[in-house]
Amino acid sequence: MRAATALRIGGFALLAGILLASPAEAPAASRPAPFHPNRILVQSRANLTAESLKGLHPKGKTVRTLSKALRLQVVPVAEGETVAGLIKYYQSTGLVEFAEPDYERRLNLLPNDPRFTDGTLWALNNTGQSGGTTDADIDAP
């Protein structure tokens, strides 16, 4: 009985040692999200237009307006600037609702269409069914 208890305690100690010694991968929420290194997103305050920010933008760089209704612009990061520095600059002006990195997001989803999962939408994922050419599709999955 004592041997079984000692074995159990020793097993737990070994497991705890392994868990504590192993470097755990950081959870996804704590890892910084990837963003585009050469541009940021800026939204002017509600009482301002995108045009009123023109004087703030880097000289010689083309600013693209994503949405006039949302006052959202893509601002390129000038050579020698950093994303963080440019964001801090825009925030310090008081003329923007927000300035933030242009985060990259990716979806990894399959369609929920039953015709896709049963293989009848062959143009999305052609596996060569019915004598067709394998992978002659748009590479949806």
37 and 98 assigned to the same domain: yes
- Do 37 and 102 touch, CB atoms closer than 8 A? no
| pLDDT digit string, tens, across residues 78-135 | 888 999 999 999 999 888 999 999 998 877 777 788 877 776 765 666 777 777 788 7
Q: What is the pLDDT of residue 27?
A: 52
For the stretch 7-14, contacts whose Cβ atoms lie closer than 8 Å and that sit 24 or more positions apart, written own/partner, are none
Q: What is the pLDDT of residue 138?
A: 72
Number of domains the chain contains: 2
95 and 44 assigned to the same domain: yes
Please give the residue range of the domain that contains residue 136.
108-141
Considering only CA atoms, give the Rg of the chain. Answer: 27
Q: What is the pLDDT of residue 33?
A: 80
Tokens of 35: 């963003």
User: Does residue 6 fall inside a structural domain?
Assistant: no
Burial of 73 (0-12, 13-18, 19+ CB in 10 A): buried
Residue 66 and residue 99: Cα distance in Å, rounded? 14
